[in-house]
Amino acid sequence: MTLVFNFIEFSMLYYIPITSSIIAIIYNIFFIQSGRKQSPEVHASKYLIYLGITNIIFIVLSFLLPDLLLSSPYNEVETQIYLAYNVFRGLLFSVPSLITYGVIFLIFGLKNRQQLKSYLMISGILWIIYYSVNVIGLNGELYMILFQISGVDVWTLTTIFIIISFFGWLVLIGFILLIVHGFKNNDSNMLYAGLVYFLGLVLSFIIPIFITS
């Protein structure tokens, strides 16, 4: 059998995704708190609570649902199982993010544009673009599928990776607007959520240096 389920291992290699997930859980907790602390004049504040809870559930689930590895030699049945599982896994962890970070933030921003200005609405639009691309990339699963099944060369995979990664700037800009929103509208929880995100970016650079030193 050449299909192997690979659960996460707690080693130096996994410090970055574990840290990123912890950071994501923290800023989603701030989203929840923001939803709870909104004034009565703010519409659909419960949306922030729902999106925060949903995101945390899927972050935890991503560690419980293992990767499926495929090594040669493999037959057609194993290939189809591998393909179906990884497409499912990729969509499972990309579509919810498109809905929560993108669609819900956009709707919340639109409903409160007069009171809170357009910061969250623009963040939602930027995140819809990024997470739509992420859905196409199957949350990163597309690279291994193309490499293992289609035999796509490394150069093509690298090009695809660079193109998809370029859209990551939209996430960064969205969180900058989140900080601006928090500052302008006295929403400390949104402000902290944005700052925690950037703390995660800093750690993503520091941890590899620490590991390799």
pLDDT at 199 over 70: yes
Tens of pLDDT, residues 138-153: 998 888 888 777 777 8
The pTM for the full model equals: 0.90
Q: What's the token pair of residue 166?
A: 């370029």
What local confidence, expressed as pLDDT, does residue 166 receive?
Answer: 92
Lowest mean pLDDT among 52-56, 60-64, 128-132, 139-143: 139-143
Please state the domain extents for the chain.
Answer: 3-35+44-212
Phi first, then psi: what are they for 4, rounded to 5°?
-130, 125
d(CA 65, CA 175): 28
Q: What's the token pair of residue 102?
A: 């993108």
Report the largest interatomic distance among the alpha carbons of the chain, rounded to a whole angstrom.
Answer: 62
Question: Are 109 and 118 spatial neighbours (Cβ–Cβ below 8 Å)?
Answer: yes
What local confidence, expressed as pLDDT, does residue 117 receive?
Answer: 95
